[in-house]
């Protein structure tokens, strides 16, 4: 393996565990980036010729190298993948007891560039980097051995692949993959679109937050905004909500939400209705029409996808939470979520305070949530801690 040399002092962040190495940290006099092939494995060396670990390189990317091992001269191969994926699966099986989870969470599982979601005997894989793309066949082979799946789908159609100079594609890498999948989460049964759905088909990261949300829903009227396949609302149905409204910009998503709600209907029933439209505009229309709810979930897509979009994105979070507080009954519950990596939890809290101030409400934080344990956070990489939520009680009047 070739050596990739760092500039003086640039190994400090890596020594405490960070896995990314940026192009301006490379000593290009000793190791010109143009001499490496995308995905090539290297030993990372400090300016004092001390090994830092093994990484794969992409000279065309701002993140020039991603460390996958603390040991030097360690190839990224089937043996290493088997060890990492095996330990990741061991953790999930111990936590959940049923085979519905995120099996691998990239840097959080020391597998940069690799995400794997498991739906019983169907696996969905996303590869976002040239280094992991180079061992794609090994990834598939190891997953076949570990999970004995009926099918493996590669959903490599993410925009992040553009940054690595990789083509976007979707393909069945093994077996047969259905157009939609069945899954169980928190005892709630779901059907979700797989080949045409968002990302890997489901958002396991909200599992714990959905369970917390359901605790407030028995006998209540509930709004699930940005609902996708109805995950929060169906947890509410299962918990005994009296009525659930699903809101989304996609009719397909609303169709899945309705199917899932019907599937989980309790014996004493629950009134279900759907609202099609852009959530921000439609929330305003619901407010203007006089609709009110006891419990509301706000789970939008990332409003801040890049740092330069921070101020506009923060304004969007403030607006959507203001609308939620206007729509919720006095003493009601709002769960507000953000998957924007560039919005810290304290700033989402600030958006909630801003919304409360604008509506003349007082709020109490009941639960502060984050991504589920099948999305482990790398403590040296705040980038891996992207999901945050606040469950607040909204008090109006004096």
Instruction: Check whether 13 has a pLDDT greater than 80.
Output: yes
- Active-site residue list: 339
Annotate 224-270 with DSSP letters as a single string: EES-TTTHHHHHHHHTT-SEEEEEES-HHHHHHHHHHHHHT--TT--
Name the CATH architecture for the domain at 181-396. 3-Layer(aba) Sandwich (3.40)
Are 114 and 40 in contact by the 8 Å Cβ rule? The answer is no
Q: What burial class does residue 255 get, using C-beta atoms within 10 Å of its C-beta: 0-12 exposed, 13-18 middle, 19+ buried?
A: middle
Give 85-89's long-range contacts (Cβ < 8 A, gap of 24+): 85/111, 85/116, 85/142, 85/143, 85/146, 86/146, 89/146, 89/147
Residue 307 pLDDT: 84
Q: Judging by DSSP bridges, how do beta strands 100-105 and 114-119 pair with one another?
A: antiparallel
Residue 121 pLDDT: 97
Give the pLDDT confidence of 289-341 residue by residue, as tens digits: 999 999 999 999 888 888 888 999 999 999 999 999 999 999 999 999 999 98
For the domain 2-69, what is the CATH code?
2.30.130.10
Could you give the CA distance from residue 306 to residue 308 in angstroms, rounded to a whole number? 5
pTM of the predicted protein model: 0.94
Could you give the CA distance from residue 326 to residue 288 in angstroms, rounded to a whole number? 10
Q: How many CA atoms lie within 13 A of 26 on its CB side?
A: 28
Give the pLDDT confidence of 176-209 residue by residue, as tens digits: 999 999 999 999 999 999 987 777 889 999 999 9
Q: Tokens 């009954």 correspond to what residue?
A: 329
Tell me if 2-69 shares its fold with 78-177: no
- The answer for 199, left when phi > 0, alpha when psi is -120 to 50, beta otherwise, is left
For the domain 78-177, what is the CATH code?
3.30.750.80
- List the domain boundaries for the chain: 2-69, 78-177, 181-396
């Amino acid at each position: 393996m070739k050596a990739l040399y760092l500039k003086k002092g640039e190994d400090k962040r890596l020594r405490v565990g960070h896995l990314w190495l940026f192009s301006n940290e490379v000593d290009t006099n000793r190791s010109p980036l143009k001499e490496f092939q995308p995905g090539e494995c290297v030993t990372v060396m400090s300016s004092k010729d001390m090994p830092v670990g093994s990484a794969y390189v992409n000279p065309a990317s701002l993140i020039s190298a991603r460390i996958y091992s603390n040991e030097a001269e360690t190839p990224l191969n089937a043996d290493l993948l088997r060890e990492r994926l095996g330990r990741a699966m061991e953790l999930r099986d111990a936590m959940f007891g049923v085979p519905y989870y995120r099996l691998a969470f990239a840097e959080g599982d020391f597998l940069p560039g690799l995400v794997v979601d498991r739906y019983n005997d169907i696996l969905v894989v996303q590869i976002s980097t040239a280094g992991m793309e180079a061992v794609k066949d090994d990834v598939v082979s190891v997953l076949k051995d570990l999970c004995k799946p009926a099918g493996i789908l590669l959903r490599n159609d993410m925009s992040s692949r553009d940054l690595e100079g990789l083509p976007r594609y979707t393909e069945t890498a093994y077996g047969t993959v259905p157009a939609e999948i069945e899954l169980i989460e928190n005892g709630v049964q779901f059907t979700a679109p797989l080949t045409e759905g968002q990302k890997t088909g489901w958002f396991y990261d909200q599992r714990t937050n959905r369970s917390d949300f359901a605790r407030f829903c028995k006998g209540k009227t509930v709004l699930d905004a940005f609902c996708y396949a109805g995950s929060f609302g169906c947890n509410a149905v299962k918990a005994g909500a009296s009525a659930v409204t699903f809101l989304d910009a996609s009719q397909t998503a609303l169709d899945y939400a309705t199917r899932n709600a019907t599937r989980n209907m309790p014996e004493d029933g629950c009134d279900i209705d759907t609202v099609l439209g852009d959530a921000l505009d439609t929330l305003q229309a619901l407010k203007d029409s006089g609709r009110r709810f006891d419990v509301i979930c706000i789970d939008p897509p990332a409003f801040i996808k890049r740092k330069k979009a921070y101020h506009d994105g923060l304004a969007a979070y403030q607006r959507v939470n203001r609308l939620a507080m206007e729509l919720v009954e006095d003493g009601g519950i709002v769960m507000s979520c953000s998957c924007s990596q560039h919005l810290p939890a304290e700033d989402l809290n600030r958006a909630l305070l801003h919304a409360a101030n604008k509506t003349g409400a007082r709020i109490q934080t009941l639960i502060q949530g984050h991504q589920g344990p099948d999305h482990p956070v790398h403590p040296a990489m705040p980038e891996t801690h992207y999901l945050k939520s606040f469950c607040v009680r909204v008090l109006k009047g004096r």
